[in-house]
Structure 1
Amino acid sequence: MSMFKLTLDKIYDLLGHADNPHLRLSAIHIAGTNGKGSTSAYIDFVLQKANLKTGRLNTPHLCEPRDSIRINGVPITKEDYQKTYDAIKVINSEHNIEASLYELLVATAYRWFDAQRVDVAVVEVGVGGRLDATNVFDSPLLSIITSIGWDHEDLLGNSIEAISREKAGIMKPGCKVVVSPQVEEAALVTLKNCAAEFGCSRLICVAPAERDSQKVDRASLKLLDGTPIEFHVPLLGDHQLSNAATAVTAIDLLRKTEARFFHITDDHIKDGMASTRWPGRLQYVDVSSVVNGGVTEKRLLVDAAHNPQGAKSLRDFVDKLLQDKDVPKVHWIYAATKGKDVQRCLGLLLRDGDTMIANTFSKVEDMSWVNCCETKDIVTRVNELNREVNVTAAENLVDALRQAYDRCGKEGGIVVLSGSIYFVADLFRLLGLDV
């Protein structure tokens, strides 16, 4: 069983004593298992191109808690974060609310968005939806449900239907809902039933965008009125065709139904989509500052594939890359969070001939409940797959990178770092990369 008991009582208490900042926010609220973050980023960048001031909340953070909270794509400054967070902590203490660190973060974000008078708050759900601390909007601009799969079963339920109902908890009576393409048919059926049950005013079920056969980084879809739009998809992976389509459809629905968005043009959509960044997900980074000698190319593919659906998407992407390689093998650098379905993820990632270097990640700031799997446990789980995979453990991330590129130089193939967003964060800190 989980150590958490999900409830909205404390977040409402906290926000109430903070003058209810959420009541003054126009929110786009996004739940789902995979694709929440990139969908929120696409929407955020498009709205910015349309000269709207945006706030965005994404959890978990990548490198430090404040990078969860952004205005016009830029993380809140350390000073503003600490000042706002401390004010929320005082409220929590004075009124004996005993809010969790996550609830304190959400309240900090909403208070900052309100203080900055953002035009739109783009808010990603942390876990589930119905009882997630972000779920305090009675009438959001849009509720968006991205792809649903297996994750957090201890909190959300042991069936796709149960998980889907929890995600659908962000749907509100009289409000519009956009649903991404679903891998699980049971998820789509459940979401449709929930939208009808909750009295949502409109439900849009999105079809994936279609990739241009001549230009793989371009895609197209039909807008709600049937007219086509073509746009650049800067984020890698076929699953981005669904996330991008969801974002474009959401913006199109807003500009056709809400007066304050009437000014958004196709060019705003195209420019915003083309400029979107979402660090740590199917991203190439240069590790030459750490890895000396060995192979000439020091590009590392990084992806925080922390659940089975993410692992499958990553493996599908890697398989396409390997079609052009003389040696179709992957040298994995891997660390995982305790409580995740690591065995299933490894089964989806690994092929005969691959190698894996098990690693750990550092303690996560303000998330004391997050712990990493021990390397010996990862090695054991790989061996239990009974595949021809050379698996070892590394003392630290630098050691793992050097081992992997040494193998790559001798055996060919590619190097991929994956398993946990917190492991990716360690890499970003090591390389001094911006988030």
Structure 2
Amino acid sequence: MSTFSGFKLTLDKIYALLKHANNPHLRLSAIHIAGTNGKGSTSAYIDFILLKSNFKTGRLNTPHLCEPRDSIRINGVPITKEDYQKTYSIIKTIDSNHNIGASLYELLVATAYWWFDAQRVDVAIVEVGVGGRLDATNVFDSPILSIITSIGWDHEELLGNSIEAISKEKAGIMKPDCKVIISPQIEEAAMKTLKNCAIEIGCSHSICVMPAKWSSQKIGYASLELLDSVPIEFHVPLLGDYQLNNTATAVTAIDLLRKTEVRFSKITDDNIKDGIASTRWPGRLQYIDVSSILGNSVTEKLLVDAAHNPQGAKLLRDFIDKLLQKKDIQKVHWIYAATRGKDVRKCLDLLLRDGDTMIANTFSKVEDMPWVNCCETEDLVTWTKELNREINISTAKNLVDALQQVYGRYEKEGGVVVMSGSIYLLADLYRLLEINE
């Protein structure tokens, strides 16, 4: 049992809540996804492949982007405000009537499962919130598939102070006699631990995914060998080399399902290709036009990426370094805000280089997540100065001020403009631009 932001990580309350809600999870065919990075985009790839194959899907992703209902989707579309409020009210009444005392996160998970069951989805794609073993989503006795994406350092206070300990917590979603897909791992200790856990638990199929490879002939296309060694090539719409791992994981997962379960056998290679090509996942290496805020004279789009932990920060910096080399430029202008409790010092160390500029910012209070707080801008300034690098750093009064400052510097000095550090900062930008993903 672990404490997280004012409540204890335990499955007791979610089981009680679901029991009194007539156990909707027992009627769901679930694909359950844990990991440190890549869970969201992997779940989106799988969702879009299944949609192209004419399956009705439910998908739960946390944290939400702009509002809690964003987390719950049917066929890729968020639940409506009316349906969310109605369903959440049902779950909240159950919680109150039975004195369960469920957390806001547990209420959200139960709301999603109840709605997926009510909508009779063919497949529920569920992303773990924190860890795996004691996460509120982990109530499926026999998921049709468990997936573990890339594991790195995050939530050490909950999951343990070693990659092995963190990996064991993530592996807690594996179930006996069930299939598991293990994504390519940066940390060797993670792969070793996950393999051992799969053996100990008695998973019926345990497949370690090989990364896809970029095509040398077609820009933006990647190729992968399927389980029967037949190659498949597909267009990858999301940016970043790490999408080679995420797409490979999603494609391998679908390939395993269609080759082991009759109801998925109708999925074709074209369904897979079309699904990958049509996938959207906001906030990950995404270019956004901010000219509506700053005026039409702004032609350089803002690159946003919610790199909130060291592994994500390294992947973002790797992408930027390749971008700088390609454009033959050196300077990066950052807008940065971070969540308190993250390894922000390490992230800043990985992201910032001599000559960069940074606007330290904050983000708004996050709806239904009172435990989330942003770092003070003064702390970001202090930690950046402790790097002893030549970085031009300042603070902003608000997001518009930050954008004005950063583009003012860009107009004088050129370079690349990047917003990062927290998904909640990106959410403020989406609300400001009235973007509804």
Q: For the superposition of Structure 1 and Structure 2, which TM-score range results when normalised by the shorter chain?
A: over 0.9
Question: Deviation string for 1:202-261 (max 9, x for gaps)?
Answer: 100001100012323100000000100000110100000000000000000000001100
- Separation (CA, whole Å) in 2 of partners of 1:292 and 1:19: 53
Tell me the equivalent position of 1:61: 64
Give the deviation of 1:130 after TM superposition: 0.2
Counterpart secondary structure, 2:338: coil
**Alpha-carbon deviation of 1:293?**
7.0
Query: Which residue of structure 1 lines up, in the alignment, with residue 156 of structure 2?
Result: 153
- Counterpart for residue 32 of structure 1: 35
Equivalents in 2 of 1:334, 1:45: separation in Å? 31
Instruction: Summarize the alignment of residues 7-406 of structure 1 with structure 2, pairs less than 5 Å apart.
Output: 7-292=10-295, 296-406=298-408
Is the 1:45–1:276 contact (alpha carbons within 8 Å) kept by the matching residues of 2? yes
Q: Which amino acid aligns with 1:395?
A: K
CA distance in 2, matches of 1:24, 1:279: 30
TM-score (norm 2): 0.98
* Cα separation, 1, equivalents of 2:79 and 2:127: 17
Name the Cα RMSD after superposition. 0.9
Gaps of 5+ in 2: none
3-state SS of paired residue (1:404): helix
Q: Which amino acid aligns with 2:73?
A: R
Q: Deviations over 1:105-158 (max 9, x none)?
A: 000000000000000000000000000000000000000000000000011000
1:77 Cα deviation from its structure 2 partner: 0.2
Please tell me the residue identity of whatever aligns with 1:371.
Answer: N
Structure 1, residues 292-351: CA drift from partner, whole Å, max 9, x if none? 376x42300000000000000100111111113343110000000000000000000001
Secondary structure in structure 2 of the residue aligned to 1:332: strand
Q: In structure 2, what residue type is equivalent to 1:307?
A: N
CA distance in 2, matches of 1:137, 1:118: 16
Contact 1:361–1:423 (Cα < 8 Å) also in 2: yes
Aligned counterparts of 2:202 and 2:208: Cα–Cα separation in 1: 16
Contact 2:7 2:103 survives alignment (8 Å): no
Secondary structure of the 1:290 match is helix
CA distance in 1 between counterparts of 2:352 and 2:402 reads 17
For residues 379-404 of structure 1, the C-alpha deviation after alignment (integer angstroms, 9 at most, x for no partner) is 00000000111111000000000100
Partner AA of 2:279 in structure 1: T
SS in 1 for 2:240: coil
Output the CA distance in 1 between the equivalents of 2:18 and 2:245.
34
Kept in 2, the 8 Å contact 1:291–1:298? The answer is no
Whole-angstrom CA distance in 1 between matches of 2:140 and 2:219:
38
CA shift, 1:290, in A, is 1.1
Q: Percent identity?
A: 79
Give me the whole-angstrom Cα distance separating, in 1, the residues matched to 2:212 and 2:106.
Answer: 35
**Number of residue pairs aligned between Structure 1 and Structure 2:** 434
